[in-house]
Chains A and B, each alone.
Chain A
Amino acid sequence: MHKTDKINDADLHAYVDGELDEQRTLEVEIYLREHPEKARDVAVWQQQNETLQALYNTIIDEPVPSRLDPHQIAANNGKSTKSKNQWFGWQSMAAMFALFTIGVTSGWLGHGAITKTPHSPAQQLLAAHRPMVRHALVAHTTYAVEVLHPVDVSGENEQHLVSWLSKRLEVSIKAPKLTKQGFTLVGGRLLPRDEGIAAQFMYEDAHGSRITLYVIRNQKPETSSFRFASYKKMNAFYWLDHKISYVLVGNVTKQELSPLAHNIYSQLEN
Chain B
Amino acid sequence: MTKFLDEIEACIPALRRYAGALTGNWEHADDLVQDALERAIRKQRLWSPSGSLQSWLFKLQTNIYRNDLRRQKRRPPLTLIDDLTVDPSIPPDQPARLALAETKRALAYLPDEQRQALLLVALEGFSYKEATVILDIPQGTLMSRLGRARKNLRQIIDEGLPPKGKKHLRSAK
Which A residues lie at the B interface, using CB under 8 A?
9-10, 13-14, 17, 19, 44-45, 48-49, 51-57, 59-62, 64-65, 67-71, 73-74, 77-80, 82, 85, 87-88, 90, 92-93, 95-110, 116, 118-119, 123, 126-127, 133, 141, 225-232, 237, 254-255, 258
Contact = CB atoms under 8 A, between A and B. Distances in A.
B121 A106 contact: no
Contacts of A108: 96-97, 100
Given A52-B122, A56-B21, A87 B31 contact: yes
A227 B84 contact: yes
A228 B82 contact: yes
B68 A48 contact: no
Contacts of B23: 99
Contact of B82 (A44, A71, A93, A230): A230
B38 interface: yes
A95 B27 CA distance: 14
A107 B84 CA distance: 11
A59 B74 CA distance: 29
Interface string B25-44: 11110110111011111100
Contacts, number: 223
Interface string B51-83: 000000000000000001001101011111111
Question: Which secondary structure dominates chain B's binding surface?
Answer: helix
Nearest to A49: B122
B86 A10 contact: no
B99 interface: yes
A55 B150 contact: no
B101 interface: yes
Interface in B105-134: 107-108, 118-119, 121-123, 127-128
A225 B169 contact: no
Given A70-B41, A118-B27, A227-B85, 4 more contacts: A13-B146, A55-B103, A59-B17, A77-B42
Given A13-B147, A19-B127, A96-B169, A55 B81 contact: no
Contacts of B104: 55, 101
A45 B128 CA distance: 16
B79 A231 contact: yes
A126 B81 CA distance: 12
A101 B55 CA distance: 27
> What class of interface size applies to chain B in its complex with A?
35 or more
Given A60-B17, A92-B172, A109-B96, A232 B165 contact: yes
A17 B122 contact: yes
B5 interface: yes
A127 to B, nearest CB: 7
Contacts of A237: 86
Given A52-B107, A97-B79, A67 B34 contact: yes
B87 interface: yes
B159 interface: no
B30 A228 contact: no
Contacts of B71: 88
A225 B28 contact: no
B85 A98 contact: no
B85 A68 contact: no
Contacts of B39: 78
Given A14-B128, A78-B41, A141-B169, A99 B150 contact: no
Contact of B94 (A69, A79, A99, A106): A106
A52 B21 contact: yes
Contacts of B30: 65, 67-68, 118-119
A107 B79 contact: no
A52 B150 CA distance: 12
Contacts of A68: 12, 16, 30, 33-34, 37
B1 A45 contact: no
